[in-house]
């Protein structure tokens, strides 16, 4: 199940994100501007391997095909290290 927040619930929904570059789980630097011209679902979570964040990530993972069918790339961001992200992904 995908729950989309209404734009009047959160003033950041639908707004352009500030450009940034961060390492992914494989320590490859990913820059947001490399997705220009494409739809991106950008979600932020506080920490890898916590119960709430795990549920959130699993819900996005389960919906990846639906997002791909819409031409959207899903990107999750937290302040944890690439090594932590790799363990979280496993």
Domains in the chain, please, with CATH? 21-89 (3.40.30.10)
Burial class of residue 67, CB neighbours in 10 A (0-12, 13-18, 19+): middle
From 54, 36, 87, select the one nearest 76 (Cα to Cα): 54
Catalytic machinery residues? 53
What pLDDT sits at residue 8? 57
pTM for the structure as a whole: 0.73
| Structure confidence at residue 57 as a pLDDT band (50, 70, 90) | confident
Over 50: is that where the pLDDT of 38 sits? yes
Over 80: is that where the pLDDT of 65 sits? yes
Question: Do the Cβ atoms of 30 and 77 come closer than 8 Å?
Answer: no
What pLDDT sits at residue 2? 40
């Amino acid at each position: 199940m995908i729950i989309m927040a209404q734009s009047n619930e959160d003033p950041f929904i639908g707004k352009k994100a500030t450009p940034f570059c961060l390492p992914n789980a494989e320590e490859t630097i990913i820059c947001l501007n490399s997705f220009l011209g494409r739809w991106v679902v950008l979600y932020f979570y506080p920490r890898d391997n916590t119960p709430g964040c795990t549920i959130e990530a699993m819900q996005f993972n389960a919906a990846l095909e639906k997002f791909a069918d819409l031409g959207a790339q899903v990107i999750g961001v937290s302040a944890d290290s690439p090594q932590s992200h790799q363990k979280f992904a496993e």
